[in-house]
Amino acid sequence: MSILTPDLLRELVAEARLAPSVHNIQPTRWRLVGDGRLALVDDTAVRAPVADPAGHDVLVSHGAALEGMSLALNRRGLAITAMTTIEQPLSPRFAALCSFAVREGVARDPLADHVARRMSWRGKFAGSPDDAAALAQLAACDNVTCLSDREAIAEIAGWADQAEFSFVRGDDYRHELLDWMRLSPSHPRYLQDGLNRDALAMNAVEATAARFVLGGLFKPLDRLGLASSLLADGAKTASAAAVVLFSRPIGEDPLTTGRHFYRAWLQIDQAGLAACPISALADHPDFNERLRRLGKIDADVRLVNVFRVGRPAKMPKPRHFRLPVERLIV
Ligand SMILES: Cc1cc2nc3c(=O)[nH]c(=O)nc-3n(C[C@H](O)[C@H](O)[C@H](O)COP(=O)(O)O)c2cc1C
């Protein structure tokens, strides 16, 4: 009899879905494909083509979901085995990206305990006397470089605003972003996907302002030179205990990169810190290069993403806005 019963699959998917995905678009589905194997399925209808034209972040998101599945299995003494990564169309909408069997008997992974706690923290950070110890713990982890010099962080905060604004100036980029934002709790998918006001750490007034600034008022405000300061996040980045560079070997399969991206984020949580990615810094070639130099990143390694990390004044209660499990098993 297969280990993966329908009930167990639902439990596993409920945990795997807590993995991060770009704009919280959640492109990953799951399907039992016979012989006790489980396939990770790409829902090709779920994309952010302007922010992610090459589809790299979607694949990284799938990789994070795969790691989420691996950690959910680990909590039950199970592990992924006999993985094949041959892409296989299942229907016009769905494609299996990989499939694997499940085996018993595996050592406990301490990062599994952090899955339910990890979340994006998009508010400000408060300095804490414990930050130095937390950063020392983080600095010892694989794939991350911690930049904690205050002047460097202040400079990077300015770069982040410039990088973000260079993308936000694109009309298509703003339209797509607004489409994935749920700025009012009355949005029908407020609790399910995309970026809602709670996740964005915005109150009702800030959310209404964001709708106008990113919407119809953007161009007049930009002509007056006001849009960039209204959208700036620099104070939040400048309040971080550190900026963390996440890098992986050049040419690595993005599914593998995504698995490590999620693990790096869980390690940040394990160190007692909260985090928010700043993809614009990694996606902008000029700022990517500046950060590579600052972090002395080796030539054979790609700077994949950047986090600001620190401790909020009060550690937030974990919350996750996710699609129902039934929608994720196809
Ligand atoms: C590849 C990737 C890139 C991301 N880039 C950003 C980003 O630039 N800014 C941001 O605020 N969140 C970013 N996120 C975080 C997602 O928006 C977040 O994981 C998602 O909304 C789910 O929320 P949670 O992390 O609180 O569970 C990124 C996530 C992934 C996987």
Q: Name the residue ranges covered by the structural domains of the chain.
A: 6-116
pLDDT, position 1: 63
Q: 224 C-alpha vs ligand 1 centroid, how far in Å? A: 31
Q: Return the ligand 1 atom nearest residue 195 CA.
A: 21
What superfamily would CATH give domain 6-116?
NADH Oxidase (3.40.109.10)
Q: What mean pLDDT comes out for the span 7-20?
A: 98
In the sheet that holds 274-277, the strands lie side by side as 144-147, 242-249, 301-310, 274-277
Q: 91 C-alpha vs ligand 1 centroid, how far in Å? A: 28
Q: Contact at 8 Å (CB) between 17 and 325?
A: yes
Q: Contact at 8 Å (CB) between 240 and 268?
A: no
For 49-62, b where at least 16 C-beta lie within 10 A, e where not — what string? ebbbeebebbbbbb
Q: Return the ligand 1 atom nearest residue 319 CA.
A: 26
Q: Does 314 have pLDDT greater than 70? A: yes
C-alpha distances in Å from residue 72, one per residue of 102, 148, 163, 269 = 12, 33, 36, 17
- Of 21, 124, 165, the one to substitute when testing ligand 1's pocket (max ligand atoms within 8 A of C-beta) is 21
For 239-261, b where at least 16 C-beta lie within 10 A, e where not — what string? bbbbbbbbbbeeeeebbbbbbbb
Q: What mean pLDDT comes out for the span 75-94?
A: 96
The helix-helix angle for 56-74 and 254-270 (nearest 10°) equals 60
Q: Return the ligand 1 atom nearest residue 18 CA.
A: 27
Q: 34 C-alpha vs ligand 1 centroid, how far in Å? A: 33
> Which tens digits make up the pLDDT trace of 91-138?
999 999 999 999 998 999 999 999 999 999 999 999 899 999 999 999
pLDDT, position 316: 87
φ/ψ of residue 242, rounded to 5: -160, 160
In this structure, the residue with its CA closest to atom 20 of ligand 1 is 24
Q: What mean pLDDT comes out for the span 171-200?
A: 98
Q: 208 C-alpha vs ligand 1 centroid, how far in Å? A: 21
Q: Which residue has the higher pLDDT, 192 or 35?
A: 192
Ligand 1 binding residues, C-beta < 6 A: 20-24, 57, 60-61, 64, 119-120, 122, 195, 199, 276-279, 320
Residue 2 pLDDT class (50, 70, 90 cuts): confident
Report the predicted TM-score, pTM, of the whole model to 2 decimal places: 0.98
Three-state secondary-structure class, residue 128: coil
In this structure, the residue with its CA closest to atom 3 of ligand 1 is 22
Q: 93 C-alpha vs ligand 1 centroid, how far in Å? A: 24
| Helix/strand/coil percentages in the chain, nearest 5 | 40, 20, 40
Q: 171 C-alpha vs ligand 1 centroid, how far in Å? A: 21
